[in-house]
Amino acid sequence: MTLTSNAYARKKSLRRWAASAFLFCVVFSGVAQSWAQKPKREFQLHADSADFWKLFDKDAKLATVGTGFGFTEGPVWDPAGFVYVSDEETNKIFRLYADGRKEELVSLGDPDGNTYDRELRLIDCASELRAIIRLDRNGKYEVLASEFERKKFNSPNDVVTGPDGALYFTDPTLDLPEGQKQEIPFQGVYRLDPSGAVTLLTRSFRSRMGWHFRRMARSSTWMTASSETFGCLSSRLITRWRMARFLEKSLGEKVTAYQTA
């Protein structure tokens, strides 16, 4: 029997499709089996210091509190019994309660890291606004700072309240709004004091992630800690960092800054 050229081509294509489908089934079966054999991850608490157990119960369990978010950032616990959390994909800040209930606080373009000021008012890094803002309990916000030396910030990412009451924040280009111009030619760390004055602390960092202050036990030293923000700086450089001088002046005590990662 002689096949026409078109029939032969169709038959060849069918064989090719069948072979591809068979190969896909074999590969998928192997992946599925691998997933099935993969051990289930379990949550465990590990303490590097005995003092850790003064904060957490040894039998503490990991539980899912809320779902349905896009990409979350900046969780902050509120004494009223909920967590403020930013959702960068839905462009909103929520209150999340222990029972999983969510309440929208505000719809805001690309909200990022959060903290409280000394009066327990919510502070947010509003990336799309390119500003540091303060929000009240109803979601109304005011811009605290949006520029340095008359140039707009890049996209503030993480913020923390220092022991002197000032806000310290990072300003990477990570979330610079599309189509907008970068006006500051570096990624800086800044101090925003209660009067609204903005001071550049350093322009020499590559990363942009979270950080905090901690009072060291039985010491007059304040420690700054970061997983990535100061990854490119040496400890010697950080101990000479300008933040330490601001804190010394405010607190009247010796201050040292440490690299932690």
- Separation of CA 256 from chain center: 25
**Which position has the token pair 């405010």?**
250
Count CB atoms within 10 A of the CB of residue 139: 16
Residue with structure tokens 């707009």?
152
**Residue-wise burial string across 193-224, b where 16 or more C-beta atoms lie within 10 A, e elsewhere:** beeeebeebbeebebbbbbebeeeeeeebbeb
pLDDT at 202: 83
Strand order in the sheet with 122-126: 111-116, 122-126, 131-135, 141-145
Pick 65-251's CATH classification: 3.40.50.410, 2.60.40.420, 2.120.10.30, 3.40.190.10.
2.120.10.30
Provide the residue ranges of all domains of the chain, joining segments of one domain with +: 65-251
Residues 6+ apart with CB under 8 A from 90: 69, 70
Q: Which two tokens stand for residue 226?
A: 């970061």
Name the nearest CA neighbour of 199 among 190, 208, 186: 190
HSE on the CB side for 110, CA within 13 Å? 16
Phi, psi for 27 (deg, rounded to 5) = -65, -45
Q: In angstroms, what is the C-alpha Rg of the chain?
A: 26
Q: Which helix (H) or strand (E) holds 110?
A: none
Grouped pLDDT means (10 residues each) for the chain, 261 residues: 48 52 49 58 80 86 87 91 93 93 92 93 94 95 96 93 88 89 92 93 67 50 40 36 55 48 37
